[in-house]
Amino acid sequence: MSSTSQKHKEFVAEPMGEKPVMALAGIGEVLGRKLEENGFDKAYVVLGQYLVLKKDEELFKDWLKDTCGANAKQQRDCYGCLKEWCDAFL
């Protein structure tokens, strides 16, 4: 199991609320802007896509790569962040 970033720990520690998309682990300024340009401006909107894809790891990672150009590590970090958040709050 890989270690998680401080950003990941902070995200999964509390309800999502109105957190910006860049609050997600693996999503920095560049990817965040690309997601925002595609209508995914809040973390909960990306969560919605994750849920629409039925929490499927491969589908979500492919979607993230196609939507904003996320590399494998960024995909893995974002997926892990949302999965852990869902495990805690859903």
> Would 57 be classed as within a structural domain?
yes
In a domain, 13, yes or no: yes
- pLDDT, one tens digit for every residue, the chain (90 residues): 457 899 999 999 999 999 999 999 999 999 999 999 999 999 999 999 999 999 999 999 999 999 999 999 999 999 999 999 999 999
pTM above 0.85, yes or no: yes
Q: How far apart are CA 70 and CA 87, in angstroms?
A: 23
The answer as to whether 1 is a domain residue is no
Residue 34 lies inside a defined structural domain of this protein: yes
Task: Tell me which residue range forms the domain holding 21.
Answer: 6-89
| Total domains present in the chain | 1
For helices 43-52 and 72-89, angle between their N-to-C axes, nearest 10 degrees? 90
CATH code where residue 75 lies: 1.10.150.40
45-57: b (≥16 Cβ within 10 Å) or e: ebbebbeeeeeee
Report the pLDDT value the prediction gives residue 4, as an integer from 0 to 100: 82
Answer yes or no: are the C-beta atoms of 32 and 22 closer than 8 Å: yes
**Residue 75 counted as domain residue:** yes
